[in-house]
Amino acid sequence: MPAEAAVILDFAPVPVGRPAVTLEVTRGAARLLIGLGFAPLAEVCLPNGRRADLMALGPRGEVVIVEVKSSLEDYRVDRKWGEYAPYCERFYFAVAPEFPRHVLAQGPGLIVADGFGGAILTDSPHIPLAPARRKALTLAFARLAAMRAAPL
């Protein structure tokens, strides 16, 4: 290699601490959903202004929301997750394997995930959406996915 040629390696910094856990759990939960036939999107704004960590559309049109909790503190200070129920048919918490699961609210489903995949430990109850709401959410979901995939 000529002396004047320089090799520049540009690596994105690897997050540490809570951001790293959030990224790993989100990735693992998304991979789990894909394996179950769902199409997930991360960071989806809902009509009420809340933001779902993961929202997924199933093969039969079912809508799932996953709320990622990266730490006990994250869970204790964030009580907005109850406001997601009107916009999904199944709701799950997703946590890392070392998360103290006994503190989580009863009712929502539970996914345990790491950066490679996940498992559903507790299934979520299925609460059907009204047809008009399902149609509106599906259309918004499809438009968001298309916009994210658009070559800009």
CB distance 55 to 64 below 8 Å? yes
Cα separation, 22 vs 12, in Å, equals 17
| Percentage of the residues of the chain whose pLDDT score is greater than 70 | 88
* DSSP tally for the chain: helices H, then strands E: 3, 6
**49 Rama sector, left if φ>0, alpha if ψ -120 to 50, beta otherwise:** left
* 9: pLDDT strictly greater than 60: no
> What's the pLDDT at 17?
59
> What's the pLDDT at 15?
52
Cα separation, 39 vs 25, in Å, equals 17
Which residue has better confidence, 2 or 64?
64
Residue-wise pLDDT tens digits, 77-109: 988 888 999 999 999 999 999 999 999 988 999
> What's the pLDDT at 140?
96
* Confidence (pTM): 0.86
* 117: pLDDT strictly greater than 70: yes
Dihedral angle computed from the Cα positions of residues 99, 105, 110 and 111, in that order, rounded to the nearest 10 degrees: -30
> What's the pLDDT at 25?
97
Token representation of residue 133: 């709401």
Looking from the CA of 65 toward its CB, the CA atoms found within 13 Å total: 25
Beta-strand relationship, 90-95 and 39-45: unpaired
Query: pLDDT band for position 19 (50/70/90)?
Result: confident
